[in-house]
Chain A
């Protein structure tokens, strides 16, 4: 059903395929509301979560998604794996391939690592976040959440605020929004913008207050202190004053506008506690959507693999 057997970047998907994933996720979201939250769809399939970077929510989300589709999910974390003993990524991939897994979800600190694995392995690969490059299922769940909250994607103006230069979330979300007819606007201090912000294909703005009244979504990025080689602004307090979402800024947005964040949040830096917990924040909705969207991605990647007869 998907033209590509891997999901590496948003470029692997067409707008029709994105719509198919979102529609399928809508049906699968119903499964997550039931008393018995499980369907037998991927019974007998093996899905490996191969995480070389710390992650709680993404890994758990993929793990729950696999379990709800009745697939056998295996978690493989770098600290407990042979890579800690010096095995190369390529050899790890070959070892996993020899175990006949059907889908591997890879997170790695280096951009391109999932692509390299996909070239070595026979199974499907989902990029679960590679360095500062892309995180396509995050973009898909964000699109899903926006569509659920605002009823459409086309024509939306989405402000992506903060640490754009270190953000794989922005790396996937900007092309995803453009593909679906929305307008991404990247906003942040020059020190947290890419060297050539124009190449992302988004509108660029350095003044959050100026652009807020025009936005349907304020998407706040986590400041990734761990990826920064130097402190990109004088203090957290100054950042919060200039780019942090607070109650006053929320009031400056149109009444229908929503606030999103990929998590984990630095409360008091990019978002104040009252905004994070306000009814206009859909941050927990994003987490909930993540399971359904990942179930849809797995279903569409692993289903229909062979040609054959009807039931």
Chain B
């Protein structure tokens, strides 16, 4: 996936979010640290451009909600920032890659600790399959069939100087 197709995918997701929710009213985006936050910002920008309504954006760090803390720790822990009332919104979780589903489960647990959202939807740039939990995305930029030994890396200009999605051979670090 190159920068142009990523741009198109995000614009399409923004339209789909607006269509599914009949506009931007009552929507909030919650990006999952770290790249999900940048994607949430980009989606919010597009939604505002299309609809003329600004949607609030928050960031979720799920390090303390992972079910594999005994196996490995997050190398870097950030702070969660939810600058809106969870109860009053339909929250669209945003992440770069959907894989086993465990990150999304952890993100939903984290979100629930802030309140009871009206509903939670999920937007991901890439769905690479291999689910271990019954979780599916409502909005997908691109389905990328992969082998488990492969690693999907989303590069964003905010961190990596360019926009792209690349598939790498697993270096043992995992997602």
Binding site for B on A (CB under 8 A): 1, 23-24, 26-28, 30-31, 34-36, 38-42, 69, 299-300, 302-311
User: Which 7 A/B pairs are nearest by Cβ-Cβ distance?
Assistant: A310-B174, A39-B64, A311-B102, A303-B73, A308-B71, A304-B73, A27-B77
The answer to whether A304 and B77 have CB atoms under 8 Å apart is no
CB atoms of B102 and A303 under 8 A apart: no
Please tell me the size bucket of the interface on B: 20 to 34
Q: Which of B64, B66, B67, B175 has the most CB of A within 10 A?
A: B64
Q: Contact at A300–B73, with CB atoms within 8 Å? A: yes
Instruction: For residue B122, give the distance in angstroms from its CB to the closest CB of chain A.
Output: 16
A42/B113 in contact, CB under 8 A: no
- 28 pairs across A/B with beta carbons < 8 Å? A1-B73, A27-B61, A27-B79, A30-B79, A31-B64, A35-B115, A36-B113, A39-B64, A39-B110, A40-B64, A41-B64, A41-B66, A41-B69, A42-B69, A299-B69, A299-B73, A302-B69, A303-B69, A303-B72, A305-B70, A308-B68, A309-B71, A310-B72, A310-B100, A310-B173, A310-B174, A311-B102, A311-B103
Q: Per-residue CB proximity of B63-94 to A under 8 Å, as 1/0?
A: 11111111111000111100000000000000
A304→B66 contact, CB < 8 A: no
Chain B residues with CB under 8 A of A24: 77
Q: A34-B114, A304-B73, A308-B71 are in contact. Are A28 and B175 (CB under 8 A)?
A: no
B61: which A residues are within 8 A, CB to CB? 27
Instruction: State the CA gap A300–B114 with chains docked (Å).
Output: 24
**CB-based nearest B residue for A308:** B71
Q: Which residue of A lies closest to B71 (CB)?
A: A308
Q: Does B109 touch A at the CB level, under 8 Å? A: yes
Chain B residues in 8 Å Cβ range of A310: 68, 72, 100, 173-175
Query: Which residue from B65, B100, B103 sits with its C-beta under 8 Å from A40?
Result: B65
Most chain A C-beta atoms within 10 Å of own C-beta, residue among B69, B110, B113, B114? B69
Is B64 a contact of A311 with CB atoms below 8 Å? no
Shortest Cβ distance from A38 into B: residue: B113
- On chain B, the residues within 8 Å of A23 by CB distance are 77
CA distance A305 to B71 in the complex (A): 6
